[in-house]
Chain A
Amino acid sequence: MGVRTWLGSWPVYRQLTGSDPLGLGAAAKSARSKELTARTETADSVARSICPYCAVGCGQRVYVKDGQVTQIEGDPDSPISRGRLCPKGAASKNLVTSELRQQKVRYRRPYGTEWEDLDLATAMDMIADRVIAARDATWEDVDSDGRPLHRTLGFASLGGATLDNEENYLIKKLFTALGALQIENQARI
């Protein structure tokens, strides 16, 4: 190792002579960190997204490699957030990749004491049957004066403030066509 190389490996020397007088960046870099590559650089693709927590609507960049989310960062292009994320937005990779996330349908039968497995397609079919049955059992055609009611108060729904507009539109459209009224979300709360 020549003297120059030896000196150059000494952070204080780099801090005094280089472009990083405060010693916050290049001057403080070790040989090991020099060899590291950011996950954001090796990603296969980047999706432009928005933080799913509060309504500030900070921009996110979602980095993907081999079909897995490897990093989520603030989007510096966003005129709202300018690349920043608060603790929740910054933790959202953990929200997406957490091993605690439920990935399978769970089913609890009436009077059951434990969860059971259920196939998704079967669950969809069972839910459709229950909606139809609840609607049939509670359908109201007209009020006592013969004016139209065309509705059911037999089933209800709550949620939507964390969902997309397109999703809320289909929820409202489907339930309204089924005659259901008690469709609510966090905006009421």
Chain B
Amino acid sequence: MAECHPVGFQWVMEAKDRGATVIHVDPRFTRTSALADRYVPIRAGTDIAFLGGIVNYILANELDFREYVLAYTNAATIISEDFRDAEDIDGLFSGFKPDRHAYDSTTWQYEGQPTLTAGGADTNNQRATAGPLLHESHGPPLAAGDHRRDETLRDPRCVYQILKRHFARYTPEVVEATCGVSREAFQAVCEAWTRNSGRERTTALVYSVGWTQHSVGVQYIRTGAIIQALLGNMGRPGGGILALRGHASIQGSTDVPTLFNLLPGYLPMPHHALHPTFDAWVGSMSAPDQKGFWASARAYATSLLKAYWGDAATADNDYCYDYLPRMTGDHGTYETALSMIDGTVKGYFLLGQNPAVGSAHGRAQRLGMANLDWLVVRDLFMIESATFWKDGPEVATGEVVPERCATEVFFLPAASHVEKEGTFTQTQRLLQWREKAVEPPGDARSELWFFYHLGRIIRRKLAGSTQARDRAILDLTWDYPESGAESDPSAEAVLKELNGYEVATGKPLSTYVQARDDGSTAVGCWIYTGVYADGVNQAARRKPGSEQSWVALEWGWSWPLNRRILYNRASADPQGRPWSERKAYIRWDDKQGKWIGPDVPDFEPTKHPEYRPPEGATGPAGLAGDDAFIMQADGKAWLYVPSGLIDGPLPTHYEPVESPIRNPLYGQQANPARRAYQRPDNQLNPSPPEAHSDVFPYVLAVGRLTEHHTAGGMSRNLRYLAELQPAMFVEVSPELAAERGLEHLGWAHLVTLRSAIEARVVVTERITPLRVGGRVLHQIWVPYHWGGQGLTRGDSANDLFGIVLDPNVLIQENKVGTCDIRPGRRPTGPALRDYIAEYHRRAGVTPERRSPIVTTDPHRED
């Protein structure tokens, strides 16, 4: 955090000054470790074993915050008697279908519950479409009715007992053997975390892409969520799980998604088979008689279609539902890159993004682009993704020859952040409006300008078309006010559309509760409703922090409805009283008959804590006055996830797909439901039980530096930053340096089945060899910012990685892999490919080879 979110880290230091204990768990010692009370080195890719050990410690010693757990989580809920745990089937859960390496999740449900997830019980469809990503704003649907609970938590089929059995083998000894973390250090973390949680105290958990970029990344975060829910740290001040996101508006680009499977506000992009009709589409989002706020999904969906298609969208034509394109499977960025290699994609837009450096398997990315008809690159600087045809690594190897590369490339300069106005959504869902300081230089334009005018030109060219397919583009509402010499469209008008308005009057809505399913409201992104309440740009509010409460509600605007801590109803006990005065936040005030506190209550403002829903109540009225988790269909935080996840209802330790060791816990080596692309140009390094894993004996971890930014386009071209971090390097321990003859500041190269890259060697104790599974294991760390352009140039770490994805959200595993390291520079020119071919031969990898995915007998029961 000190490295990659430095200014946010000032608050950690402030907490430390006031007595907080700071613990840092990371494969590499960083500036964060230097300032922490305790630094715990860990083997990359083993966080579920580590965190699972903590869950086991909590449950074995009954250290959970029992009152919180009973009231606010699904610990007491009874699960189907047909459920079989990964502990019973050697690393697989019940319902595994080996032919598709996907699950049928029927047996995972609450007792008596049908499966209602968007894709049905078959997780294969959900994996292709990253279905679980929908649940960033809300839980999956549940049928109405109460679920059987055992408030004593003794029933062997209640979630609490299932959890306890699932993690019982995650002992300190197993943590040590798996993660390389000493028993003493592990014990210290367990004690500090549990001691600092409960009525009087809360603990915050912070993570970043070190958790997401794994083949089992979603389940890492789930394990953290289980701990935080068991210890009562959710919805309370000083608690929570904080995802530190790496780009200025990466949260915004998920909320208002440029993602294939989502529409704004986490509505699903329709699937051809699952959502052939409007009713099927809306029905998949929430059960008709569902409890909670997501029950209003129909209003959000209708209002989005009204925002898109205005007058053309009517009840008679299902609000133009048939204008929406349909998914048939995986259309994600990696599938798309491989489709470029296969020649089915003709054109590509890159908007401030540099996949030649920033995406896994850089070579596949560049070969894909070299096979396009046309490419549009919009950026501030000339980046590697624009010049691959001229001076990319494949030009050096002879795989791309400019005279034979057909890709037509348009480079269009972009406006910088001070040359346009608009909102970024930062890491805590806070929208902040930026004013425009100056006009962009030369041909530089904003994306708003580019897309507005591109749309205008396309609509002009298609005007008068009688083709059915062109109705959607011609009926689109596309009339934003223009101003200035360059006819800039109004960003504020777009913000108003995101907020939503009454169709008849144009009056902005002030809350998403006002969204209607009868076509009388238009809402571009329902979770952003309120950002333009009363016709005022709430994201532009700038009341100085020193002049308002510590929650600072009048600086910017956060979704939903300016709430700063989500699920803050849980900061009070079931009766509505603060758990302790020390941790008071939101409380029920009987005199005023409403919830009060320094934040906007994340609850119906006047719902009494003792309210109990009448029989058959649905929607928000179906939630009781102590159902704190209002976006969940049962109002509870889910320790166990009966639906909505593809790789199991509970986190389970799987080895990274590329790992030098055999899974110490299960016969199933790696995530059996991972999204794999098994093809000759995407071979992964062999891992046990496959032979030849010793060809790539080292664990490779990748990260960022304070002084550079992601793929480097915005940092390698800056004088100060290029001077502060002037060269690509690799960090190795003194022990590994001795083992491989690597010299400090000399050259070394790293090799995988994809490529080899070279870097300057930094021999440092920041990397410690770990004892894992009875042997010494070396880890290697590289930053991934470099490429062939800019003031500082070097090889790209992402060239080392293949493509294998987390099945829930289709994020790649490039925080961990295996590699070889050798002293000296790598071969250049065509010799580089020969060198890699030699590694293929040594690893026994032929073009036909497929990595085994299921490594245990699915029919076995222990």
Residues on the A chain within 8 Å of B437, using CB: 45, 47, 49, 62, 64, 69
**A50, A100, A158, A178: the one within 8 Å of B717 (CB):** A100
**A124, A148, A156: the one within 8 Å of B326 (CB):** A148
In the complex, what distance in Å separates the CA atom of A114 from the CA atom of B846?
38
A79-B457 contact in complex given A50-B248, A55-B426, A159-B351, C-beta closer than 8 Å: no
Q: Give B390 Cβ to nearest chain A Cβ, in Å.
A: 7
Asked if B448 contacts A79 (CB within 8 A), the reply is: no
In the complex, what distance in Å separates the CA atom of A158 from the CA atom of B386?
13
In the complex, what distance in Å separates the CA atom of A152 from the CA atom of B339?
13
**A89, A129, A138, A150: the one within 8 Å of B324 (CB):** A150
Q: Give A79 Cβ to nearest chain B Cβ, in Å.
A: 3
In the complex, what distance in Å separates the CA atom of A21 from the CA atom of B154?
68
Asked if A104 is an interface residue, CB under 8 A from chain B, the answer is yes
**A78, A127, A164, A186: the one within 8 Å of B448 (CB):** A164
Asked if B837 is an interface residue, CB under 8 A from chain A, the answer is no
Asked if A113 contacts B246 (CB within 8 A), the reply is: no
- Residue of B at shortest CB range from A90? B720
Interface hit among A3-11, A28-36, A139-147: A139-147
In the complex, what distance in Å separates the CA atom of A90 from the CA atom of B419?
17
Q: Give B256 Cβ to nearest chain A Cβ, in Å.
A: 5
Q: Give A124 Cβ to nearest chain B Cβ, in Å.
A: 6
Asked if A77 is an interface residue, CB under 8 A from chain B, the answer is yes
Asked if A54 contacts B709 (CB within 8 A), the reply is: yes
Asked if B8 contacts A56 (CB within 8 A), the reply is: yes
Q: Which of B258, B386, B420, B452 has the most CB of A within 10 A?
A: B258
Q: For chain B residues 429-479, which have a beta carbon within 8 Å of chain A? A: 430-432, 434-439, 441-448, 450-455, 457-458, 461-462, 468-469, 472-473, 476, 478
Asked if B435 contacts A87 (CB within 8 A), the reply is: no
Residues on the A chain within 8 Å of B176, using CB: none
Residues on the B chain within 8 Å of A45, using CB: 437
A131-B422 contact in complex given A165-B498, A182-B260, C-beta closer than 8 Å: no
**A103, A150, A177: the one within 8 Å of B441 (CB):** A103
Asked if B259 contacts A183 (CB within 8 A), the reply is: yes
Residues on the B chain within 8 Å of A95, using CB: 380, 416, 714, 717-718
Asked if A156 contacts B347 (CB within 8 A), the reply is: yes
- Residue of B at shortest CB range from A109? B408
In the complex, what distance in Å separates the CA atom of A181 from the CA atom of B452?
19
Asked if A167 contacts B446 (CB within 8 A), the reply is: yes
Residues on the A chain within 8 Å of B269, using CB: 181
Residue interface bits B1-27, CB-to-A below 8 A is 1, else 0: 000111110100000000000000000
Asked if B707 contacts A160 (CB within 8 A), the reply is: no
Asked if B431 contacts A182 (CB within 8 A), the reply is: no
Q: Give B496 Cβ to nearest chain A Cβ, in Å.
A: 10
A102-B454 contact in complex given A48-B435, A67-B439, A160-B351, C-beta closer than 8 Å: no
Asked if A41 is an interface residue, CB under 8 A from chain B, the answer is no
Q: Give A121 Cβ to nearest chain B Cβ, in Å.
A: 9
Residue interface bits B685-719, CB-to-A below 8 A is 1, else 0: 00000000000000000000011111000110111
Q: Give B186 Cβ to nearest chain A Cβ, in Å.
A: 31
**A51, A130, A143, A189: the one within 8 Å of B248 (CB):** A51
Asked if A162 is an interface residue, CB under 8 A from chain B, the answer is yes
A57-B349 contact in complex given A107-B410, A111-B406, C-beta closer than 8 Å: no
Asked if B777 is an interface residue, CB under 8 A from chain A, the answer is no
- Residue of A at shortest CB range from B409? A108
In the complex, what distance in Å separates the CA atom of A169 from the CA atom of B408?
27
Q: Give A82 Cβ to nearest chain B Cβ, in Å.
A: 7
Residues on the A chain within 8 Å of B468, using CB: 141
**A109, A127, A161, A169: the one within 8 Å of B454 (CB):** A127
In the complex, what distance in Å separates the CA atom of A176 from the CA atom of B23?
45
Residue interface bits B79-113, CB-to-A below 8 A is 1, else 0: 00000000000000000000000000000000000
Interface hit among B48-56, B371-379, B601-609, B734-742: B371-379
Asked if B721 contacts A91 (CB within 8 A), the reply is: yes
Asked if A169 contacts B461 (CB within 8 A), the reply is: no
**B339, B403, B422: the one within 8 Å of A165 (CB):** B422
**B6, B272, B409: the one within 8 Å of A148 (CB):** B272
Residues on the B chain within 8 Å of A184, using CB: 258-260, 332-333, 336
Asked if A52 is an interface residue, CB under 8 A from chain B, the answer is yes
Asked if B350 contacts A158 (CB within 8 A), the reply is: yes
In the complex, what distance in Å separates the CA atom of A96 from the CA atom of B256?
26
Asked if B246 contacts A163 (CB within 8 A), the reply is: no
In the complex, what distance in Å separates the CA atom of A183 from the CA atom of B332?
8
Q: Give B823 Cβ to nearest chain A Cβ, in Å.
A: 32
Asked if B353 contacts A159 (CB within 8 A), the reply is: yes
A55-B255 contact in complex given A72-B418, A155-B349, A159-B352, C-beta closer than 8 Å: no
Asked if A58 is an interface residue, CB under 8 A from chain B, the answer is yes
Asked if A115 contacts B469 (CB within 8 A), the reply is: no
Residues on the A chain within 8 Å of B353, using CB: 158-162, 185-186
Asked if B264 is an interface residue, CB under 8 A from chain A, the answer is yes
Asked if B811 is an interface residue, CB under 8 A from chain A, the answer is yes
Q: For chain B residues 373-410, which have a beta carbon within 8 Å of chain A? A: 373-374, 376, 378-382, 386, 389-390, 402-410
Q: Give B635 Cβ to nearest chain A Cβ, in Å.
A: 28
Asked if A86 contacts B706 (CB within 8 A), the reply is: yes
In the complex, what distance in Å separates the CA atom of A154 from the CA atom of B346?
5
A163-B249 contact in complex given A77-B542, A77-B544, C-beta closer than 8 Å: yes
Asked if A40 is an interface residue, CB under 8 A from chain B, the answer is no
Asked if A165 contacts B424 (CB within 8 A), the reply is: yes
Asked if A53 contacts B709 (CB within 8 A), the reply is: yes
A84-B7 contact in complex given A153-B339, A155-B346, A182-B345, C-beta closer than 8 Å: yes
Asked if A174 is an interface residue, CB under 8 A from chain B, the answer is yes
Q: Give B560 Cβ to nearest chain A Cβ, in Å.
A: 15
Residues on the B chain within 8 Å of A15, using CB: none
Asked if B461 contacts A181 (CB within 8 A), the reply is: no
Asked if B355 contacts A158 (CB within 8 A), the reply is: yes
Asked if B555 contacts A87 (CB within 8 A), the reply is: no
Q: Give A187 Cβ to nearest chain B Cβ, in Å.
A: 5
A187-B253 contact in complex given A57-B427, A103-B442, C-beta closer than 8 Å: yes
Asked if B812 contacts A189 (CB within 8 A), the reply is: yes
Q: Give B726 Cβ to nearest chain A Cβ, in Å.
A: 14
Residue interface bits A66-98, CB-to-B below 8 A is 1, else 0: 011100100011111110111111111011101
Residue interface bits B666-681, CB-to-A below 8 A is 1, else 0: 0000000000000000
Asked if B315 is an interface residue, CB under 8 A from chain A, the answer is no
Residues on the B chain within 8 Å of A167, using CB: 422, 446-448, 451
Residues on the A chain within 8 Å of B327, using CB: 181
**B325, B374, B443: the one within 8 Å of A149 (CB):** B325
Asked if B7 contacts A170 (CB within 8 A), the reply is: no
Asked if B426 contacts A80 (CB within 8 A), the reply is: yes
Asked if B276 contacts A48 (CB within 8 A), the reply is: no
**B6, B347, B402, B497: the one within 8 Å of A113 (CB):** B402
Asked if A110 is an interface residue, CB under 8 A from chain B, the answer is yes
Asked if A110 contacts B407 (CB within 8 A), the reply is: yes
Asked if A47 contacts B418 (CB within 8 A), the reply is: yes
Residues on the A chain within 8 Å of B580, using CB: none
Asked if A169 contacts B525 (CB within 8 A), the reply is: yes
19 sampled A-B residue pairs with Cβ under 8 A: A54-B245, A80-B8, A91-B719, A95-B416, A96-B416, A127-B454, A147-B272, A147-B276, A156-B333, A156-B345, A158-B333, A160-B249, A164-B252, A170-B455, A174-B458, A178-B473, A181-B325, A184-B259, A184-B332
The 9 closest A-B pairs by CB, nearest first: A79-B545, A57-B426, A159-B351, A164-B422, A103-B442, A151-B325, A160-B258, A155-B347, A47-B437
> A47-B436, A94-B719, A102-B382 known; 20 other A-B pairs, CB under 8 Å?
A52-B417, A53-B714, A56-B427, A87-B706, A88-B708, A88-B721, A98-B718, A101-B381, A124-B454, A153-B345, A158-B336, A164-B424, A164-B446, A167-B446, A170-B452, A170-B455, A182-B260, A186-B353, A186-B710, A188-B332
Residues of A within 8 A of B (CB): 45, 47-59, 62, 64, 67-69, 72, 76-82, 84-92, 94-96, 98, 100-115, 118, 120, 123-132, 134, 137-139, 141, 143, 147-174, 176-189
